[in-house]
Structure 1
Amino acid sequence: MSAFAFFGALEIGLIYGLVALGVYLTFRVLDFPDLSVDGSFPMGAAVAATAIVAGINPWIATCLAIIAGAMTGWVTAFLTVRCGILNLLASILTMIAAFSINIRIMGRPNIALIGEDTILTPFESLGDSMYIRPLVVGVLVLFSAWFVVRLLNSDFGLGLRATGVNARMVAAQGASTAFYTYFGLALSNGFVGFAGALFAQTNSFADVTSGVGTIVVGLAAVILGQTLIPGRRIWVAVLAVILGSVLYRLAVAFALSSGMFGLQASDLNLVTAILVAIALIMPRMKKNMKKKNSPVDKSGAGDKRKTGGEA
């Protein structure tokens, strides 16, 4: 794999690290299966690209993309909390509706940003863009990770985590589980919208189909990262999912660029499915290995049998 392909995969992996943060908040923290990220990712890209083409400052355009992504998550929460729709179905409905909304935002299926200023433009003059772009994206991702760690370690974050573990207990303490659900889904999809905005600006285009399979990539990053770096601390889990995203993209890039097993660029979805399956199987394999390697206290078992016989 060439240096250009390596740093390109690193850049994309860091961008999808924001998606992994969002998926971590919904699947791990809130225990909410949210598929609306497939809609909020291209929505962030669509809003940012449309705003930049209209002459709006790229940083303001990125903030608008974050807000648009957060609104997507808010709609999913509204359908679940207020309308009583099953969370999985609610997120699917939001994802489907977002497809048409994204076309409405852009006015066409895709927008090119070639020649437009982006948030990366001021930094590209500092050196080779092949190295500068991943560095800038990495700083933004680390800042987002720091924010998530500080939030989840706060008293408010404790309530957010408790909502995913035992919502009835949270309600019994007088806290609003509905508010935590609204906030959690809005924050999660805000990160995904942020990722979509960065994706559009780094690749110089926004496309309505760019969100297809986003949830799969996010889940793969979360599962792979937490399998390789297990830990109960929040900062360990957050850094693990970001590292999982980077390793996932590097693995995909290596498999496709090296021609391993005769793979081609059109086999991206196949490689994705295989890597996700491996990431899902690994925790179970590790658990089975621990059971086989754990010593059995035969004397204790014998004492129990003996005691039972005497009784």
Structure 2
Amino acid sequence: MDIILSSISQGILWSIMAIGVYLTFRILDIADLTAEGSFPLGAAICSVSIVSGITPLLASLLALIGGMLAGIVSGLLHTKLKIPALLTGILTMTALYSINLRILGKANVTLLGQDTLMRTLQSFGLENRMAVLVVGGVAIVLVILVLYLFFSTEIGLALRSTGDNEAMSEANGIHTDTMKIVGYMLCNGLIALSGALIAQNNGYADISMGIGTIVIGLASIIIGEVIFHRLSFAKRLITIVIGAVVYRLIIDFVLQLGVQPQDIKLFSAVVLTIALSTPLLKKKSRRTKRVGKRGAELV
């Protein structure tokens, strides 16, 4: 039960990052590698702010803003300088490594003895896992609600239209470059916010904590899509949360079996490969069954 509660609480925090990845990966059809840099950026801004005496809630908001600024940079590089999306993410991610190191001042910053959102709730009598669950639950509900309302507006619909058919959107007077920048901004803002919350939960921010972020985000998205098909936008966001929780459950279960922590990244890549190949395997299975039925009918 302790492992399940821990996986759920951790999965909810990571799901905020996964939703950010979803906005560019599915809405704009871009695999944005900026996530590898904006995630530790959020953690660095939040941790340094808390150590400097800023309240945890304001520090988390500053992390959100910092991630949005990183997203704007990626958006401008991609839309104004016409740099391919993949290279744009690599450039911004590389630049953010130095920026994050500047913010931290060293390889990592500890939050031991500092007030965080989780410790604030613990002071009211909640145990650690429940405090993380409450913080993550409130954060993910707000994120889903805000995104649902935003994508119901004219700008949100224009953003979705840009991802679906850029040429048609331009023909209808939509400034697609602006919409892409907005998408980058929202994506990296949420990723940085997730980094801030996870840093508060872990009790430290580390310069290398963003490695593998994009894999975790994609795995959460794909797992949710494999389990649930053809859903509306709001329901799809909820399935991403479920996918992130399932992913954490799988990882924690594997660790319980004795897999070494240094092999987790490899295992994560294997899980993502299986998740990505599942739809293709299902299609082949259906075709095989159809061919078998036709053969049986002819006989």
TM-score range, shorter chain: over 0.9
Kept in 1, the 8 Å contact 2:118–2:128? The answer is: no
Kept in 2, the 8 Å contact 1:59–1:119? The answer is: yes
- Report the secondary structure of 1:116's partner residue: coil
Query: Counterpart of 2:297?
Result: none
Kept in 2, the 8 Å contact 1:43–1:102? The answer is: yes
Structure 1 gap segments, 5+ residues each: 299-311
Distance 1:232 1:154 in 2: 19
> Which amino acid letter does the alignment assign opposite residue 248 of structure 2?
R
Query: Counterpart of 1:39?
Result: 37
Pairwise CA distance, 1:264: 1.7
Larger Rg belongs to = 1
- Report the secondary structure of 1:120's partner residue: helix
Distance 1:13 1:31 in 2: 24
Distance 2:290 2:273 in 1: 26
Kept in 2, the 8 Å contact 1:229–1:236? The answer is: no
- Residues 149-197 of structure 1, C-alpha deviation per residue, up to 9 Å, x if partnerless? 2222333222111101111111111110011011110000000000000
- Residues 218-260 of structure 1, C-alpha deviation per residue, up to 9 Å, x if partnerless? 011111111111123112211111111110011000011122x
Which residue of 268, 284, 287 corresponds with 1:288? 284
Pairwise CA distance, 1:295: 7.9
TM-score (normalizing by structure 1)? 0.90
Q: Which runs of 4+ in 1 moved over 4 A?
A: 294-298
- Residues 92-135 of structure 1, C-alpha deviation per residue, up to 9 Å, x if partnerless? 10001101100001111110001101122221123222223213
Kept in 2, the 8 Å contact 1:26–1:34? The answer is: yes
Query: Counterpart of 2:26?
Result: 28
> Which amino acid letter does the alignment assign opposite residue 275 of structure 1?
V
Aligned residues: 294
Using the aligned pairs only, state the percent identity.
Answer: 36
Query: Counterpart of 1:15?
Result: 13
Distance 2:293 2:175 in 1: 47
Structure 2 gap segments, 5+ residues each: 295-299
Give yes or no for the alignment of 1:126 onto 2:125.
yes
Distance 1:266 1:147 in 2: 37
For residues 68-83 of structure 1, what are the structure 2 equivalents within 5 Å? 68-83=66-81
Give yes or no for the alignment of 1:272 onto 2:280.
no
Query: Counterpart of 1:169?
Result: 168
Query: Counterpart of 2:113?
Result: 115
Pairwise CA distance, 1:146: 1.9
Query: Counterpart of 1:302?
Result: none
Distance 2:282 2:149 in 1: 31
Distance 2:271 2:115 in 1: 36
Kept in 2, the 8 Å contact 1:10–1:134? The answer is: yes
Distance 1:7 1:100 in 2: 36
Structure 1, 50-59 or 234-243: larger mean CA deviation: 234-243
Structure 1, 66-75 or 143-152: larger mean CA deviation: 143-152
